[in-house]
Structure formats: C-alpha cells, structure tokens
Structure 1
C-alpha cells in the first residue's frame, strides 16, 4: 500500500507540475507574444494552438490526470501527515479546473466558432474573445496550480520523511 501511495503522490505531483507549466507558458510567452500580432495572426494562431492542445496526452494524462492522481493520493494517505497538504492541493486544482471550464474554454470555443480567419472579421472576433479576461483567469489558474504543485511536493517530502522515521 505504501508503494502505491507514493506512486500516486508522485504522479499527482508530476502531472500537476506539467499543467502548471502549460499555464505558465501561456501566461509568460504565448499570450504576450500573440498580443503583439495583428488580428488575423492572433485569431489563426490561437485557434490552431487550442485545437492542438485538445489531445489525449494533455487532457487525459495532464489536465484530468492531475485531479485523479491527487484524489487517489489523498484517499491512500488517510491518516498520514501528508493528507492535509494533499487535500488543499486537490481543492486548489479543482478550482482551476472549474475556472478553465467556466471561463477559458468558453472563450476558446467562441473564438474557434468565429470561423476561418481568412473569411471573418478578425478584429471583431478578437475583440469578442476578450484577451484581458482570458489572461487574468489564466494567471489565476497558473498561480493556483503552482501552489497545488508546491503543496504536493511538500506532501511528497513528508511522506518520504515519515518512511525513514521510526
């Protein structure tokens, strides 16, 4: 059971870190870079990246996997010193999922539904997208996921420490 608990906690930590990294890349490179482009480039590039990220590796292993592995790690850590840290990490990550589904995904979907950048009013599509709102909520997702990652790292440390103490 201890090996499964540690494995689940390691997977929770790694997948949460992966998602935090993806959100951070959007916050620190992708969106600031796109902000400097013309409307047609912005709409086309964002649509292409949003389509590409909807893949089993990111959605299944990363985005959903982080939640599932954290939940599993918590269930397997009942009665352990690491449980409160895992529980808070789970709640914070769950909040990021809710924000993603309620804010970022609808904005992404609306931009994709606007149509081909070669045949639409790209300035209107970009304005309707509301970059400031998307970036603000992405920054919140980034920070919460990063804190969740840190809490899971601490839980992993506590788990390892308790394994070597009598």
Structure 2
C-alpha cells in the first residue's frame, strides 16, 4: 500500500537549503510589508496633519524602527539570507530556482540602494532637527524630509521588496517541485 505524499512536506534532502530559502522569503515578506505599510497608511495618515505633529510623529516612528529586529533580521537579514540561498542553490543545478533567486537578490538590492541613497539621507535630515519650537521651525523641518520624494521612493522600494518576496515565494514552489 502506498500513500500519497503530503503536499505540505518540505524536502528533507536539503534542509539547510530549504530552511534558508524559507527564512529569506519570510524576512523579505516582513520588510516588504513594512515599506508597503509606510506607503499605504503611515505617510498618507501623516500627510494631513499639521507640521508639528508630522515632525514629532515621523521622528518617533523613525526612532522606533531603528531597532535590532528590523535592522538586523528584516533589513540586513533578508539580504544575507537571499544571498546565502542563492549560493546554496548554485550547486543544485536547478536553473529555474537560480533565476528566481537572482531576481529576488537584484530586486532586494534595488531596495537597499534606494534606502541608502534616498530614504535614509532624508530621514537623517529630519533626525538632525532637535530644537524646533515654533511653527516656522516645524514647517522648515518638515520641508527637510521632502515628503513627496520620500514617499515616492519608498513606494518604489516597496515594489522592489514585493518583487523580491514574490520571486522567493516562487523559488520555494520550484524548489518543492524537484
């Protein structure tokens, strides 16, 4: 008597390869969710408030996101896990998996470049404002962020990380089919 394989069973012949790919997918999905949330809820929500509220809230949110979980696990961890998954799959000879892992790595690198080249420098400008007190100070501080530019590029990095996430998810499907 034979039994049908369980569709939820992950391959056991390469647990490190499978585990790394799964962790890369999960952490990338979390990062994509953060960027998408900022584009779809946080920035639109802050867009309608006065300058003092905007600057105070943005600075508080920026300080809160600068934590080991986001910086270490999601932002940096995703990049390292995608790269490791790619390296571990090179010897597998699975060309389709390698193509999708390469797409994921390239898309994630785009998001890192946008973060380091656009969003983080704008965040740093707003972080440098510590002694705003009057309305004019808060208006000037808000202008430092360049809200429209920040939001536009955040949306692009959200799309890049969503592309990476989708590519990793498809890599898992292909990996499972072997």
Partner deviation per Cα, 1:99-127 (whole Å, 9 max, x = no partner): 10110001001001011443670001111
Contact kept in structure 2, 1:17 and 1:145, CA below 8 Å:
yes
1: CA distance between counterparts of 2:131 and 2:48? Answer: 20
2:160 to 140, 144, 149: 144
Q: TM-score, normalised by structure 2?
A: 0.88
Using the alignment, how far apart are the partners of 2:78 and 2:106 within structure 1? 12
The match for 1:16 among 10, 20, 28 is 28
TM-score, normalized by length of structure 1? 0.94
Residue number in structure 2 paired with 1:45: 57
- 1:121 pairs with 2:133: no
Residue 67 of structure 1: which of 79, 86, 91 is its match? 79
Gaps of at least 5 residues in structure 2 are 1-12
**Are 1:4 and 2:16 an aligned pair?**
yes
Q: How many pairs align?
A: 162
Give structure 1 regions of 4+ aligned residues with deviation exceeding 4 angstroms: none
Normalized per residue, the structure richer in helix is: 1
Task: Note if contact 1:44-1:117 (Cα within 8 Å) is conserved in structure 2.
Answer: no
Return the index of the structure with the highest Cα Rg. Answer: 2
> How far 1:88 sits from its partner (Å)?
1.0
Q: Give 1:95 deviation, angstroms.
A: 1.0
Please point out which of 97, 113, 119 is paired with 1:82: 97
Cα deviation per residue 1:103-152 (whole Å; 9 max; x = unaligned)? 00010010010114436700011112100000000000000110110000
Unaligned runs of 5+ in 1: none
RMSD (Å) for aligned C-alpha atoms: 1.2
**2:148 corresponding residue in structure 1:** 132
